[in-house]
Amino acid sequence: MELLMQPWPWWVSGVLVGLIVPLLHLLAGKSFGISSSFQQLGAMCLSNSKLSYFREFDWRRGVWILVFVGGIALGGFVANNFLSAEPVEFLPPFYHSAGGALRLMIGGVLVGFGARYAGGCTSGHAISGISNLNWPSVVATIFFFVGGLAVTWGLGSFIF
Amino acid sequence: MSETTGQQSPAVENPAADVPEKRGYVSATTLVMSLLLGTYFGIVLTKSEVVRWQRVHDMFLFNEPHMYLIIGVGIAVAMISMLIIKGLKAKSIEGKPITYRPKPFHLGNIFGGMIFGAGWALTGACPGPIYAQIGAGTWMALLTLGGAFVGTILYASLKSKLPH
């Protein structure tokens, strides 16, 4: 119990993260990927949109992804409130400011735009795509790091 | 491609059978499992600390191998699992064949990938962790999600003009 309440070591975490791919296939009949939840949200909220990206998306079949990400939120709540010795510090203190809010909004736009343009995020490309030997996912993952490293090392002294 | 719930009884004949079936787009089993597996994944993301901005920042600074090890082990475990599933031709619990639909290569993998990576570094959250942060009560993450929604609309609007 003591160990459970501490942050889990990388090897436990890695195994449990990897298992989501076969578990989703076997139990839910779905391929692992999370950023499609953004398209699902758009298709549901803007179902009469002129944008074919939303209009032509079959949101009735995509309902499962919203249930899945709702579960992730519930899991975050459970882990933080019942499975942690002390509250998890998700964002550093300096992000709880107007400047932090601006960074999160701009960064959020980049996350949404980039993930949908790339055709997937860390889950759909890096974990699910690479593990299914899908080479474009390797390309996407490499460029996730190109972008992240460029911002952290190139602009880091201005931003952080 | 018709999706059935597996619950249909031949005894009950629907007189309006030619009306498109509204139910059965997603089976109840899939929805229940999605909720359970989502909760499982949210707990794993939080307890592994990949939901923390600091961990993502330290990954990009090469300060610690934590994130790289988790992603690497995760890929290895998922890859072995999928090889076993494909080798055994295993089916889902609803009896459907398990297939992975490959994501095709296009220039978005490169340009979109870089843009996504920049956002990941800035927010300290890829899409999964955004939801875990919100669920855990870090309300600032609603801004990240709002931004991501705006970004998705932006992509939908510009899609035809972007190189793919």
Same domain assignment for residues A22 and A68: yes
Probe site for chain B from A57, A63, A91 (most B CB atoms < 10 A): A91
The CA-CA-CA angle for residues B163, A112, A128, to 5°, reads 85
Which two tokens mark B145?
Answer: 């999600």
Residue A30 near chain B (CB below 8 Å): yes
- For the stretch B5-47, pLDDT in tens is 444 444 444 444 443 444 558 899 999 999 999 999 999 999 9
- Chain B residues within 8 A of A51 when measuring between CB atoms: 153, 156-157, 159
Which two tokens mark B128?
Answer: 């999964």
Structural domain count of chain A = 2
Same domain assignment for residues A65 and A120: no
User: B105 Cβ partners below 8 Å, 6+ apart?
Assistant: A135, A136, A139
Annotate A74-108 with DSSP letters as a single string: HHHHHHHHHS-SS----S-GGGSSHHHHHHHHHHH
pLDDT, residue B25, reads: 81
Same domain assignment for residues A14 and A27: yes
Residue B63 near chain A (CB below 8 Å): no
Residue A96 near chain B (CB below 8 Å): yes
Probe site for chain B from A152, A157, A160 (most B CB atoms < 10 A): A152
Same domain assignment for residues A53 and A8: yes
Domain limits for position A125: 94-160
Q: How far apart are CA B35 and CA A72, in angstroms?
A: 8
**Whose structure tokens read 């995020």?**
A121
Same domain assignment for residues A56 and A119: no
Residue B82 near chain A (CB below 8 Å): yes
Residue B49 near chain A (CB below 8 Å): yes
Which two tokens mark A60?
Answer: 């009735």
**Whose structure tokens read 């064949």?**
B97
Same domain assignment for residues A107 and A126: yes
pLDDT, residue B66, reads: 97
Reduced DSSP (H G I as helix, E B as strand, rest coil) percent helix, strand, coil of chain B, to 5? 60, 0, 40
Cβ within 8 Å of B, A 59-88: 60-61, 63-65, 67-81, 83-84, 88
- pLDDT of residue B164 exceeding 80: yes
**Which one of A52, A75, A90 terminates a domain?**
A90
**Which one of A74, A90, A106 terminates a domain?**
A90
pLDDT, residue A121, reads: 95
Q: How far apart are CA B77 and CA B44, in angstroms?
A: 15
Judging by beta carbons within 10 Å of its beta carbon (0-12, 13-18, 19+), is residue A122 exposed, middle or buried?
A: buried
Q: Do A29 and B98 touch (CB under 8 A)?
A: yes
State whether residue A47 is helix, strand or coil: coil
DSSP state, residue A133: T
What is the arithmetic mean of pLDDT over A60-88? 96
Same domain assignment for residues A55 and A128: no
Which two tokens mark A86?
Answer: 């002390």
Q: How far apart are CA A43 and CA B138, in angstroms?
A: 26
pLDDT, residue B24, reads: 52
Q: How many residues does chain A have?
A: 160
Nearest CB neighbour to A67, from listed B34, B143, B150: B34
- For the stretch B49-78, pLDDT in tens is 999 999 999 999 999 999 999 999 999 999
Residue A46 near chain B (CB below 8 Å): yes
Same domain assignment for residues A82 and A10: yes
User: B156 Cβ partners below 8 Å, 6+ apart?
Assistant: A39, A42, A49, A51, A53, A54, A116
Same domain assignment for residues A74 and A23: yes
**Which one of A39, A72, A90 terminates a domain?**
A90
Same domain assignment for residues A105 and A63: no
CA dist A148 → A49, B59, B60, B141 (Å) = 32, 10, 7, 19
Residue B83 near chain A (CB below 8 Å): no
Q: How many residues does chain B have?
A: 164
CA dist B40 → A16, B1, B97 (Å) = 9, 30, 24
Same domain assignment for residues A112 and A48: no
- pLDDT of residue B147 exceeding 80: yes
Q: How far apart are CA A149 and CA B47, in angstroms?
A: 25
Same domain assignment for residues A70 and A127: no
- Chain B residues within 8 A of A38 when measuring between CB atoms: 127, 148-149, 151-152
For residues A2-33, one letter each, b for 16 or more C-beta atoms within 10 angstroms of the residue's C-beta and e for the rest, the string is: eeeeebbebebbbbbbbbbbbbbbbbbbbbbb
- pLDDT of residue A1 exceeding 90: no
Q: Do B109 and A14 touch (CB under 8 A)?
A: no
Which of A47, A37, A15 lies closest to A121 in space, CA to CA?
A37
CB-defined contacts A:B, below 8 A: 494
Cβ within 8 Å of A, B 93-152: 93-94, 96, 98, 100-106, 108-128, 130-138, 140-141, 143-152
pTM of the predicted model as reported, rounded to 2 decimal places: 0.91
User: B31 Cβ partners below 8 Å, 6+ apart?
Assistant: A63, A64, A67
